[in-house]
Amino acid sequence: MQKSSGSDHAEDLTFRKKVWIVVGILTFTVLFILLIIEAANALLLIFAGSLIAIFFTGLSSLIERNTGWKRWLCKTISIISTFIIILLFFWLIGAKIQSQISVLSETIPSTFDNLRDQLNNSEVGQEVMETLTSEESIKKAEAFGGRFFQSTFGAFGDIYVVLFIGIFFTVSPDLYAKGIVTLFPPKKHKKAQNVLSHLKKQLRNWLKGKLFSMFVVFAFTAIGLSILGIELWLVLSLLAGLLSFIPNFGPLIALIPAILIGLLDGPKTALIILGIYVLVQFLESNFITPMVQKKMIEMPPALILIAQLFMGALTGGWGLILATPITVIVIVLVQDLYLKEREQNQEA
């Protein structure tokens, strides 16, 4: 009887220990998830910095292959030359861009006034204006805008942080990669290194393709608007090229000021501008993107849109901007950590 009682007591202690372990794991998981949610914007800045680092390291690798110079020198050249090219670009055409931005900022309010007057001339238009200007609609727009344009350190502060994180990652990428690998058990170090290498390769391919696509959108839009004789063709084309970094939503956002400018010359000009933007997006979606994705993993458009909706709702603008590269990471992780493992187990 004493033996049985001692055994029951030991089993009770073991059960309690297991319960406390489960409770501890669940508590840690919940706290970790809450921490991730609270620090989501900071994590997105770190991820954006890693994309900048991938660009710098890709450019330095290109320089190293063609010159045979030392790696540290090529990295230094890649960072400094990038900033010099950007500064030279804005120095050469900065005055024109600034003047066009000033005209754009002065023109858009008057265009809104004209649009409002035209809408008020019809019953349907009046109903639309009443809906848009209602207190409830304004509150919803303010809440969405505040959520979308929120930032961790302010717009310029975020850019500053992203650039310096990118530079730090570029200078010593192996240090940070080793730090990530050491978080895994020793037996998984090689697997972790392979996954990180695959992620870096896919993100580099995606970034090269996206930059090429952005340039194509800028060039074609600039050609179309300049032929049409739009005075603000340069700033509108730059806006279209930059916003094409954001799939689905970027082209729509870039289209709004272009249409408003076109309405100043009349509905016909606005329709032609709409046609130019639709044509450029058709060429980009059906020719440029398929050509780029030959060297990348396949990303279903619906999956990208779903990721944008979730990331945009949770974290605002940064989430919407970085939703596509995050989708690339998720797809690579699923392939390397689940699908390939399952196939290997089935073959075994």
Query: Each residue of 214-244: pLDDT tens digit?
Result: 999 999 999 999 999 888 888 899 999 999 9
For residue 246, the 8-state DSSP code is: S
- Tell me: pLDDT of 92 over 80: no
| Range name among 133-147, 167-181, 192-206 with the lowest pLDDT average | 133-147
Mean pLDDT, to the nearest integer, of 249-265? 85
Question: Environment class of residue 276 by beta-carbon count within 10 Å: exposed (0-12), middle (13-18) or buried (19+)?
Answer: buried
Q: Which residue has the tokens 């009887």?
A: 1
* Residue 254 neighbours by CB under 8 Å, 6+ apart: 236, 239, 240, 243, 244, 277
- Tell me: pLDDT of 142 over 60: no
Residue type present at position 269: T
38/51 Cα distance (integer angstroms) = 22
Per-residue pLDDT, 150: 53
275/44 Cα distance (integer angstroms) = 35
| Range name among 78-87, 137-146, 180-189, 289-298 with the lowest pLDDT average | 137-146
CB 273 within 8 A of CB 228: yes
- N-to-C CA span, the chain: 50
Domain ranges of the chain: 99-153+185-347
Residue 39 backbone dihedrals phi, psi, to 5 degrees: -100, 20
Q: Which of 209, 253, 234 is nearest to 90 (CA)?
A: 234
Angle between helices 173-181 and 189-228 (to 10 degrees): 130
* Residue 80 neighbours by CB under 8 Å, 6+ apart: none
CB 107 within 8 A of CB 264: yes
- Tell me: pLDDT of 299 over 80: no
Question: Environment class of residue 20 by beta-carbon count within 10 Å: exposed (0-12), middle (13-18) or buried (19+)?
Answer: exposed
Give the residue, 218 or 299, on which the prediction is more confident: 218
Helices (H), the chain: 2-38, 40-67, 71-119, 123-132, 135-148, 155-171, 173-181, 189-228, 233-243, 249-265, 267-283, 289-293, 301-315, 317-334, 340-347
| Range name among 273-277, 280-284, 311-315 with the lowest pLDDT average | 311-315
254/239 Cα distance (integer angstroms) = 6
Per-residue pLDDT, 53: 92
- Tell me: pLDDT of 192 over 90: no
Residue-wise DSSP of 131-148: HHTSHHHHHHHHHHHHHH
Q: Which two tokens stand for residue 168?
A: 């730090």
For residue 187, the 8-state DSSP code is: G
Q: Number of C-alpha atoms within 13 angstroms, CB side, residue 45? A: 20
282/276 Cα distance (integer angstroms) = 10
* pLDDT tens figures, 276-290: 999 999 888 877 877
CB 249 within 8 A of CB 148: no
- Tell me: pLDDT of 58 over 70: yes
* pLDDT tens figures, 316-326: 778 888 888 98
